[in-house]
Amino acid sequence: MSAIDTLRTRAVEYFRGLQDRICEGLSALDGHRFREDTWDREGGGGGRSRVLENGGIFEKAGVNFSEVFGEMDPQFAKQIPGEGTRFTAAGVSLVLHPRSPLVPTVHANFRFLTKGEAAWFGGGGDLTPYYPFREDVVHFHKTWKAVCDRHASVADHATMKKDCDEYFHLKHRNEARGVGGIFFDYLGTKGQDLEAIFAFVRDAGDAFLPSYAPIVERRHGLSWTPEQRAFQEYRRGRYVEFNLVYDRGTIFGLKTNGRTESILMSLPPVVRYVYDYHPPAGTPEAELTDYWLKPRDWASV
């Protein structure tokens, strides 16, 4: 077995365990359990999709594990590092949509891919609040910065934070999806130490619950109004737009004949589209885009 194959085996084992640990932590927060849906992919591999719906806190929460392999479409393969069309991909991806508009939506994913002789890690975590609290935004960013600082030889926080702000940007609206976090991709394709990168990825995966659970604990019991709920549903539309137009995981999954139901698990259960909506100036709803969705160095606040 080659060194890359050995690393892939270890990564798969870690990702499978990470899904277990995250689901256990979220179930403890919510008071309800995830249901599991195992599936096989035509062409090679499969996965475990775990979904919690209509829970105590989460209106819809999905945590996916997948391990797939096979052949890429030749045209799509040209856009991916490495020679040929043969690929492997394994990882964990999650999106959590709380019912309360005062609890932010969150996304994270961690993955390992190979194609030809190329191998790399990707992933990150980002926060999408509707009514942000400074304490929460700062906590989220400082958690990820601490992870990067522990692995500074392969994880530059300033770069990953900037890449996150740029990646989760809806170009057609010139608007950020949320307040960011970190984002990295193709980490390892430029000769970086894959073992050091894997150590960083494990630390980052283990940091997800500490980055988010304290926010949920602080906010889920706060009262909210129907008007705030309506605004949350409206802003969820931006999540739909990004995931269907720009998200690399969605595109990769669909282009490699992945399981559609699991790929689109990230979409919120209830969304509101209002034609040409503009919140009144000076309101918290207007402040979201006027202030909070502008890139800032939140980890240094």
Catalytic positions, written as ranges: 107
Alpha-carbon gap, residue 203 to 197, rounded angstroms? 10
- Contact in structure between 131 and 153 (CB atoms under 8 Å): no
Distances (CA, A) of 90 to 8, 28, 223: 8, 26, 40
Strand partners, 104: none
- Per-position DSSP letters for 172-232, written without gaps between them: TTTEESSSEEEEEEEETTTS--HHHHHHHHHHHHHHHHHHHHHHHHHHTTS---HHHHHHH
Q: DSSP code of 237?
A: H
What distance in Å separates the CA atoms of residue 49 and residue 57, rounded to the nearest whole number? 19
